[in-house]
């Protein structure tokens, strides 16, 4: 394991594909029960490509499955290979496939919709009820993830890459697609102001895409100082705000406002008390205070933003899924603005909806993405153009790299933290198969 990622995997030898062959796969059998196993893979079927998976980034949902064998209310009920942020190389081409050749570098879009329902025909295939998504337990049999040496995947969901996009950046096209979809739903006007709650991978990319879309100020907030500093210093956001953690401090969680949102309060004497003892009104008061502090960060550098009649940001992107952060989002958004629900977390939340109702704040949800990979590739290609704001180099988001599927367990353990044993920032952990 290397503490930082500075090198791309070297040139690979394309395997000779017979009708069936054996591959290695990282397979989860239960909480933290990750095993390296051998599987049989057939030659690609009509319409499929066989991809030698090069790089896979570890997502927060992967970590949840690893720790609990579940993600939210989705519980795995059979062994499951994780991984869905991936790039690789075409090593075999099935019948009826055109436009690809052996050795093509590709990014994998891993959600496979039915393509036939009304939702799919309208282009919103991310909402297809028959969607099969790699590494998710929603469908059964589970659609196995990309932490395998090779997979067969529909060619229409393999996106060819130009040579100037690295395998790391190509893997990050998956969370970048979430960010693109969120900003598309928000539809910011030029000069808009934005706030992003949560400075994980999706939060960082959402902030960058908000800037790309013309937002004049983008403030990012998180409980982790290192992530906020990274966001501002690397150009993902224009301003940063570190959320105070007076009740406790933890290096194992990056969830914004985690001390409140976890459902328990831990006073200074270390005795945990039920979250129900904290009145709902006090949580709202806390959210109001946080919102005011976050808004003031950008306003302090631009007097025109400090207007009582126009208090708040145009758009807030809530990237944590935490109830207290939704409270903060509503209070931080100006009348007539928008709150975009990006993060998936607490499924049932109690919200002060009158704040949105009486101030005509639109609350918009997003689920994954649709029709975004081509956009993401164009955005990455524009990084070297130097014209206007360009997306920061995504390669620098990869802070740790593990080589070989046999080292996947260490990768998952590290991905659940915000700093490594040497105190270095942990942001995106990747596994090179």
**How do residues 382-417 score in pLDDT, each as one tens digit?**
876 666 688 999 999 999 999 999 999 999 999 999
How large is the average pLDDT for residues 126-135? Answer: 97
How far lies 226's CA from each of 208, 314, 371, 418, in Å?
17, 26, 33, 8
The closest of 138, 141, 143 to 154, measured between CA atoms, is 143
**How do residues 199-246 score in pLDDT, each as one tens digit?**
999 999 999 999 999 999 999 999 999 999 999 999 999 999 999 986
**How do residues 303-360 score in pLDDT, each as one tens digit?**
665 555 568 999 999 999 999 999 999 999 999 999 999 998 888 999 999 999 999 9
- 331 DSSP assignment: H
CB-CB contact of 41 with 152 (8 Å): yes
**How do residues 235-284 score in pLDDT, each as one tens digit?**
999 999 999 986 334 433 344 554 333 333 333 333 444 455 458 899 99
The pLDDT of residue 122 is: 97
Q: At a CB cut-off of 8 Å and minimum separation 6, what does 403 contact?
A: 1, 431, 432
Determine the Cα angle at 117 with ends 113 and 122, to 5°.
Answer: 90
Determine the Cα angle at 72 with ends 67 and 74, to 5°.
Answer: 95
The pLDDT of residue 389 is: 82
CB-CB contact of 141 with 78 (8 Å): yes
């Amino acid at each position: 394991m290397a503490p930082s990622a500075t090198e791309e995997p070297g040139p690979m030898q394309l395997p000779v594909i017979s009708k069936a062959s054996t591959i290695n796969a990282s397979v989860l059998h239960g909480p933290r029960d990750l095993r390296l196993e051998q599987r049989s893979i057939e030659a690609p079927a009509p319409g499929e490509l066989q991809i030698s998976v090069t790089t896979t980034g570890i997502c927060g949902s992967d970590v949840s499955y690893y720790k609990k064998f579940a993600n939210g209310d989705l519980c795995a009920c059979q062994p499951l290979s994780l991984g869905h942020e991936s790039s690789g190389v075409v090593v075999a081409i099935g019948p009826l496939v055109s436009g690809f050749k052996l050795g093509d570098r590709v990014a994998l879009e891993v959600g496979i919709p039915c393509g036939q329902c009304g939702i799919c025909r309208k282009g919103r295939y991310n909402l297809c009820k028959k969607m099969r998504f790699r590494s998710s337990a929603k469908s059964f049999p589970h659609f196995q993830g990309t932490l395998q040496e090779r997979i067969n995947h529909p060619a229409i969901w393999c996106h060819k890459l130009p040579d100037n996009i690295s395998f790391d950046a190509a893997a990050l096209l998956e969370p970048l697609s979430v960010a693109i979809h969120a900003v598309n739903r928000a539809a910011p006007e030029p000069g808009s102001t934005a706030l992003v709650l949560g400075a994980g991978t999706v939060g960082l990319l959402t902030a960058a895409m908000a800037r790309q879309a013309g937002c004049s100020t983008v403030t990012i907030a998180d409980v982790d100082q290192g992530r906020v500093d990274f966001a501002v210093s690397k150009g993902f956001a224009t301003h940063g705000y570190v959320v105070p953690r007076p009740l406790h401090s933890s290096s194992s969680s990056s969830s914004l406002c985690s001390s409140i949102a976890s459902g328990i309060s831990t006073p200074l004497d270390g005795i945990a008390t039920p979250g129900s003892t904290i009145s709902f009104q006090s949580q709202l008061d806390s959210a109001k205070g946080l919102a005011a502090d976050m808004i003031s960060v950008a306003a302090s550098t631009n007097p025109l933003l400090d207007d009582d009649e126009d208090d708040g940001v145009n758009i807030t992107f809530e990237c944590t899924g935490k109830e207290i952060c939704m409270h903060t989002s509503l209070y931080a958004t100006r009348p007539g603005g928008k709150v975009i629900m990006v993060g998936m977390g607490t499924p049932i939340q109690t919200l002060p909806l009158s704040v949105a109702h009486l101030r005509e704040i639109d609350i918009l949800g997003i689920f994954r993405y649709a029709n975004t990979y081509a956009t993401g590739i164009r955005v990455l290609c524009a990084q070297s153009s130097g014209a206007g704001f360009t997306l920061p180099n995504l390669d620098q988001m990869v802070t740790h790299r593990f080589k070989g599927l046999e080292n996947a367990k260490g990768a998952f353990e590290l991905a659940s933290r915000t700093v490594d044993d040497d105190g270095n920032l942990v942001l995106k952990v990747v596994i090179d198969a």
